[in-house]
Structure 1
Amino acid sequence: MLNQQGMLRTQALTLLSVLAAVLLMLSFGVRAEESKSGQVVRGEMTQLAGADYWRQVREGVSGTTTSASPEHGVLISTPGETWFVLKEKWMSPAGAVAIFGSITLVVLMYILVGPLVLSAPRTGKKIRRWSRMDRALHWSMAFTFLTLAFSGLMLVYGKYFMKPYVPLELWGFTISLAKQYHNYVGPLFFILLVFVLLKWWRKSIFNKTDVTWFKKMGGMMGKHKGSHPSAGFSNGGEKMIYWLLIVFGAIAAVSGLVLDFPIFGQTRRDMEISNLIHMFSALILICGFVFHIYIGLFGMEGALEGMVTGDVDETWAKEHHDLWYEEVKNTPDNDQATVTSKASDSPDQSSQKLT
């Protein structure tokens, strides 16, 4: 009996030993598999978040995403760094130099050259030059352009001249307001630009008279100052400003619309290129209109009042737009031929024809 129990105990121990050995072998196998699997996972993680992974990210390698939109599989746009450098390191400083340079030039021009005044006394007779519709279109465009220019400059340069000196809350509100205003009013500028093109393009075509006008620098500088070179309804300088507005205004407007409505499959490259083009064209416009504003406000006697009241003095018309004046004088049926004498209070003498 005891021998049988001993044999059973021995067999049980042997079986347990065999089972233990099998379990131990299986355990080592599982551990080896787990170790191997862990090494694979760690290798994948190292590759995913390590140098190779970030190298691929910087190279713009596309990953996997549920979005079907262009470039959504690209985590970091490497060419975007080129855009950032061009915008922040080159175009922004160059734009600031150009704007302040333009302002400096007109200040020096006012100090050293002085404004262009009328050579003869005013007659008091007024010639209608701009209709009410003309003036409404001009001032609508002027207001839209100036406010867009200010909000755009705030977006580009505000972080330098405002952010360090005001509370963070005020800065956040101001820059957000500038951004929203720029985005929503921008399309209105494009609409006004179309009306400006349709309204005045015929009067802004260059001709031989403009060549002489430019040679004499508009009679504003040097030995030609006060010479009043001949001009039609628009002189060479006005035509140049007009086409500057049309060409660079159209470029700024179209590139701005691309930025405003990123819903037509634009890629990051499209947006970056549009941003640079938009900045460049806007800076050209701002510099050009520094001179336009100078002429209207300070550089030429009688220029501003024509766009405010619609009428110009007869002397002003003779000296600055003599060819247009002759057309008006010799066309009695033209509405623009009607002149008003400030010296007369009599209703029947308030309007008379130029003869």
Structure 2
Amino acid sequence: MTTRTETQKGDRIEQGTPVTVHRYTAAARINHWITAISLVLLALSGLALFHPSLYFLTGLFGGGPLARIIHPFIGVVLMLSFLGLFARFWKLNLWTRTDNIWLGRVKDVLAAQEGSLPEVGKYNAGQKLVFWSMSILIVLLFVSGIVIWQQYFSAYFTIDQRRIAVLSHSVLAIVAICVWIVHVYAAIWVRGTVGAMTRGKVTGGWAWRHHRRWLKELAKRKPEADPTSSTPAE
């Protein structure tokens, strides 16, 4: 029976003071930020069209007509970008028994008592829940968005189908915004996480504390890009 790997190409340990661990490649970071920016722009333009009290947000897009035109095209960008992220990370987000234990001790997570938590790989259960939630939500938002994109697809759907799609799209968007807020809050709360997605690196201490199984697997692996590196210190 083979054990599923918790590492990716580009993940490596770099000796130094402190020890540095390469967590995300430049391509992965660019992919992530295109997805994140697209999601923010969609949220702002969508909220602007959702309720009259938020219509002032259309000013960010050049007015109401332009916001309505631009919104679905940004949705296409989001879908394509997220497909890239999904292809990169879905295997590392598959659920394991360890994730059930981690969730069962979520009080310790919130209390920052990580000593009682099981060792996790590159992603913990919370991160995996965000990943799969956004995967489902983005696909459903894209499908419902196609139904209500009247400029190109009005002839393919009935009025009743478009009404259902509008309602579904609005509800799904609110849920997606809530999941995104949780994701951002968690990234800020766990110090060092934002730096991982901007610089691509974390300290060895950060990796040991939050993703110990991933770090241990990296330590056993032969170096990829730095032939002079050896088994890292903690």
Instruction: Quote the offset at 1:227 in angstroms.
Output: 2.9
- In structure 2, the partner of 1:253 is 142
Cα displacement (A) at 1:280: 1.4
Q: Determine the structure 2 residue equivalent to 1:286.
A: 177
* Partner residue in 1 for 2:231: 354
Using CA pairs below 8 Å that are at least 6 residues apart, which structure has the higher relative contact order? Answer: 2
Residues 219 and 137 of structure 1, relative CA distance in 2, 3 Å threshold: farther
What corresponds to 2:37 in structure 1?
A: 143
Residue 160 of structure 1 aligns with which residue?
Answer: 53
Match of 2:96 in 1: 207
**What residue is the counterpart of 1:326 in the other structure?**
216
Report if the CA contact (8 A) 2:114-2:209 is conserved.
no
> Do the aligned partners of 1:218 and 1:237 also contact (CA within 8 Å) in 2?
no
Instruction: Give how far 1:332 is off.
Output: 2.0
Q: Please tell me whether the aligned partners of residues 232 and 322 of structure 1 are also in contact (alpha carbons under 8 angstroms).
A: yes
The structure number with the bigger radius of gyration is 1
Unaligned runs of 5+ in 1: 1-122, 339-347
Q: Does 1:198 align with 2:84?
A: no
- The answer to whether 1:236 aligns with 2:130 is no
Residue identity in the other structure for 1:315: G
Q: Structure 2 vs 1, CA of residues 333 and 162 (structure 1 numbering), >3 Å: closer, same or farther?
A: closer
Give me the whole-angstrom Cα distance separating, in 2, the residues matched to 1:171 and 1:128. Answer: 36
Q: 1:189 to 1:179 in 2, by over 3 A?
A: same
Shift of 1:288: 0.6
Q: Structure 2: state its 5+ residue gaps.
A: 1-16
Q: Normalising by the residue count of structure 2, what TM-score does the alignment of the two structures yield?
A: 0.83
Mapping of residues 1-355 of structure 1, within 5 Å: 124-157=18-51, 159-161=52-54, 174-217=63-106, 219-222=108-111, 225-227=113-115, 229=117, 230-260=119-149, 261-297=152-188, 299-335=189-225, 352-355=229-232
Q: C-alpha displacement at 1:188, in angstroms?
A: 1.3
State the SS of the aligned residue for 1:127. Answer: strand
Task: Note closer, same or farther for the CA distance 1:206–1:171 as it changes in structure 2 (3 Å cut).
Answer: closer
* Residue-pair matches, total: 213
| Pair 1:249–1:161, CA change in 2 (3 A) | closer
- Over 3 Å counting, the alpha-carbon distance change for 1:161 and 1:282 in structure 2 is closer
What do the CA deviations read for 1:233-260 (whole angstroms, capped 9, x no partner)?
A: 1111111110011001100011112222
Distance in 2 between residues matched to 1:132 and 1:329, nearest whole Å? 22
Secondary structure of 1:276's aligned partner? helix
1:162–1:271 distance in 2 versus 1, CA, 3 Å: closer
Give how far 1:220 is off.
2.7
Q: Shift of residue 354 of structure 1? A: 2.9
- SS of 1:206's equivalent in the other structure is coil
Distance 2:54 2:147 in 1: 28
Deviation at 1:279, TM superposition (A): 1.1
The secondary structure found in structure 2 opposite 1:220 is: helix
Structure 1 vs Structure 2 CA RMSD: 2.5
Match of 1:341 in 2: none
Alpha-carbon shift at residue 263 of structure 1 (Å):
4.2
